Amino acid sequence: MEKFVIKGGKPLTGEVTISGAKNAAVAILPATILAAGKCVIENLPDISDVAASLKILKALGAQIRMIDRNTYEIDTSMLVSTEVPAELSRKMRASYYFLGALLSRSGKAQVAMPGGCNLGPRPIDQHLKAFSALGATDSVDYGMISVRAHKLTGAHIFFDKVSVGATMNGMLSAVMAEGQTVLENCAKEPHVVDLANFLNMCGADIRGAGTDVIKVRGAQQMHGCTYSIIPDQIEAGSYMVAAAATGGDVLIKNVTPKHLEPITVKLQRAGAKVEEFDDAVRVSRVGELQPLKINTMPHPGFPTDMQPLMSVMLTVAKGTSTITEGIWDNRFRYADELAKMGANIQVDGQVAVIEGVAKLQPAPLHASDLRAGAALVVAALMTNGTSEITEIQHIERGYENIVAKLQALGADITRVETEPAIALTPAL
Ligand code: EPU
């Protein structure tokens, strides 16, 4: 087991470079299956969700060559299987993209019910609705989802709920369907656009990604390409909040400032200074933090993945903040951890009310999921003492090199291997 040991109290200062977007990478890697050739994917974040996606591709028969830590050549010309090994698909939520990609390429796919963060119920009915409209059938047996189609034919699909995953799986499954597919009520997140751009570079004909309506004209054949993944909006936002919460001054490089606007606006209202450059933002704060009202919504609304980080910052704002979670049923599991640190946070259903306190206190902390874990790292940096965070594998699913990046900003954080539990039966 590993843990982070964090001695807080120092404002973060300096520069940090943001990695490629996790939620784009975990869709683009399965999408290389559609290229049926060689793709070179650049700016892949070095995180465990990407490692798991690469392992799945390898298990399906893809040839994978590491060019450098963030660049891989993936050759999907020859695939040997359409079944994603259960132990790998259960490691991350995004394994559901293999359903859409394999269905499109091979007419069938089998994936175990995806894992990932526990944020409440995570249905995939809208993904299956898209597959079925295109002519596929699906079944679930012993936790394995199977989809199958003799032929995929373009269709008009109206999503009942705005879903990032269903929008991306809709595109993946429609790319080679015969005729035109129209997807309505689509998610507009930057990673949706990134997947469409990648697929178009491979020969797809997808228009409208980033709007409510996406039109896909089925392509006869796809091919490989070289593609660089967009910067991670949430990783960038996390360092923005860390800078503001610790009263620091950080230049955050390799970002798309437009993608950060919902976060920038809130940070400015809270009293931080945010300067935008072509591909960087600088965040600093000197004065007191002001309380905020935040409602999480699909893009371009305030992103749910930033909600735990913002809440942590607002625990020391001067007044009462309210946070309404509009996407997930169970995304305040970190509130008990913050209460241990002396925060005044009351959760009632989908709403958290935070009464600012003067200072957070160090505590032993437990990361319940990826963003909650990142938020607790920031909380620990805001205290004047030493906190330990366990279950850090959640954090390492989505943040490349978080320890080195924070150390470079002056944080006192170390990753410590803890003693393995003592075996009950001693080895003879
Ligand atoms: N939903 C349905 N039916 C579906 C799909 C979704 O009812 O078939 C509901 C969900 O229950 C939820 C809402 O629709 O209430 C939105 O879910 P969405 O499908 O958009 O989420 P997702 O694709 O499973 C991605 C990110 C999440 C992020 C959400 C929302 C990936 C791999 N994950 O999840 O990221 O919170 O979009 O933006 O792209 C994270 O990075 O920490 C993370 C959890």
CA of 370, closest atom in ligand 1: 42
Domain locations in the chain as residue ranges: 2-19+231-417, 22-217
Over residues 281-328, the pLDDT tens digits come to 999 999 999 999 999 999 999 999 999 999 999 999 999 999 999 999
CA dist 403 and 60 (Å) reads: 33
- The whole-number pLDDT of residue 424 equals 45
Q: What is the pLDDT of residue 111?
A: 94
Q: Name the pLDDT band for 425 (thresholds 50, 70, 90).
A: very low
Q: Is the CB of 367 under 6 A from ligand 1?
A: no
Average pLDDT over residues 215-231: 97
CA-126 nearest atom, ligand 1: 8
The secondary structure element, H or E, covering residue 345 is: strand 344-348
Are both 2-19+231-417 and 22-217 of the same fold?
yes
Active-site residue, selected from the candidate residues 117, 186, 202, 225: 117
Query: What is the mean pLDDT of the segment spanning 85-90?
Result: 88
Maximum distance among all alpha carbons in the chain?
67
Q: What is the pLDDT of residues 243-284, one digit of tens each?
A: 999 999 999 999 999 999 999 999 999 999 999 999 999 999
List all residues 6 or more positions away from 355 whose beta carbon is below 8 Å from its beta carbon.
319, 320, 344, 345
Residue 423 has pLDDT above 70, yes or no: no
Mean pLDDT over each residue of the chain, to the nearest integer? 95
| Ligand 1 centroid distance, CA of 359 (Å) | 33
The number of the ligand 1 atom at minimal distance from the alpha carbon of 165 is 23
166 lines ligand 1 (CB under 6 A): yes
212 CA to centre of ligand 1 in angstroms: 16
- Check whether domain 22-217 has CATH 3.65.10.10, yes or no: yes
For ligand 1, atom 2, the nearest C-alpha belongs to 123
Distance CA 244, CA 286 (A): 9
- Please give the CATH architecture assigned to the domain spanning 2-19+231-417: Alpha-beta prism (3.65)
Strand partners, 348: 351
Active site residue 186: no
- Quick check: 205 and 219 in contact, CB under 8 A? yes
Would you give the DSSP letter of residue 331? -
Q: Give pTM, 2 decimals.
A: 0.95
Check pLDDT > 50 for residue 427. no
For the chain, count helices (H), then strands (E).
Answer: 14, 23
Rounded to the nearest angstrom, the distance between the alpha carbon of 351 and the centre of ligand 1 is: 19
Asked whether the predicted pLDDT for residue 227 surpasses 90, the reply is yes
Q: How far is CA 86 from the centre of its chain?
A: 21
Q: Report the phi/psi class of residue 169: left, alpha or beta, with left for phi > 0 and alpha for psi in -120 to 50.
A: alpha
Amino acid at 136: A
Using DSSP's 3-state secondary structure scheme, residue 395 falls into: helix
In degrees, rounded to 5, the angle at the alpha carbon of residue 380 between the alpha carbons of residues 374 and 381 is 95
